[in-house]
A and B are shown apart, each in its own frame.
Chain A
């Protein structure tokens, strides 16, 4: 199966995602420049981390108008699995593929550290290989990861089980101290109504090998492989 890794000017985790998909998981992977108008028959689309268009105006605000985003939108509408990591999550929010917005971290600092993230739901293409409630130790690196949505929207996300990842302590307790950026309800990642589009601030692709200090993120990308090979989200191509 094939991963497409979208490259915006200013993406800087594109190679991390490509490396994880191709060299760690042994899958086919290709970079897709943001001016392209085809995803090249990919089974899974990854919007990587970085600073697309320099994060000018707002994070992801300009990237959402890149030509490739029309394809990403259509791929998502057809049920194709789309993963937005960090800046990629911010792009998905600006593009309206996921609800809500990002605010500056409550600390007003760029938070770069390993955090603990609890997998809240496993019925998505990016968590189906996880155990329910599994705790992942993966890194974050962002200045604007303070997830915000109006209370009614948060309520709907909770009700529809669209909160997929939450910042917790090492033993899974959801406490303010475990929240690195002030996100509403300790939200680290969410999915759309159809559950095929997932965005998260932490970087699973940077934690796929023990040599990198943690391999806990492996299961997220492994889930995508499992989802596609089992035909769970294969209708999109």
Chain B
């Protein structure tokens, strides 16, 4: 199984990097881009039998390490892969 974990700063938390990227895009002429938020993306290959098991493990990993609950939230997508054979 492959878990895709998207970690983003919570909406209430100011994102200096995203703001800087937005400013750069405006400098490049992309006036239509009104806001940018920058986050982190992880791919976890997990040796799990079911999607639920993979989700549980990815969720635990996100809670413990991948995201800091004080400032970040996360979303997990699970995809079936041939990972077990590799």
Interface residues of A (CB under 8 A from B): 57-58, 61-62, 65, 93-94, 99-101, 103-108, 146, 148-150, 182
Point out which of A61, A104, A107, A150 has the most chain B C-beta atoms below 10 A from its C-beta: A104
Say which residue of B12, B15, B65, B70 sits within 8 Å of A101 (CB atoms).
B70
A105 to B20, CA, bound (A): 12
Decide yes or no whether B14 CB sits under 8 A from chain A: yes
Q: Does the CB pair A61–B68 fall under 8 Å?
A: yes
Q: B residues near A, CB below 8 A? A: 9, 12-17, 20, 65-66, 68, 70-71
Per a CB cutoff under 8 Å, which of B17, B65, B66, B70 touches A148?
A: B70
| Chain A min CB distance to B3 (Å) | 16
Asked if A61 and B65 make an inter-chain contact with CB atoms under 8 angstroms apart, the answer reads yes
Residues of B within 8 A of A107 (CB): 16
Give the CA-CA distance A108 to B14 in the complex, in Å: 12
Whether B16 and A182, one on each chain, are in contact in the complex, defined by CB atoms closer than 8 angstroms, is yes
Q: Indicate if the CB atoms of B65 and A57 lie closer than 8 Å.
A: yes
Q: List chain A residues, Cβ under 8 A from B68.
A: 58, 61, 94, 101
Given A57-B65, A61-B65, A108-B20: A103 touches B13 (CB 8 Å cut-off): yes
B5 to chain A, nearest CB (A): 12
Residues of B within 8 A of A62 (CB): 65
| For the complex of A and B, 3 pairs with smallest distance between CB atoms | A101-B70, A101-B71, A104-B16
A104 touches B71 (CB 8 A): no
16 contacts between A and B (CB under 8 A): A57-B65, A58-B68, A61-B65, A93-B70, A99-B70, A101-B68, A103-B9, A103-B13, A103-B16, A103-B71, A108-B20, A146-B16, A148-B14, A150-B12, A150-B70, A182-B16
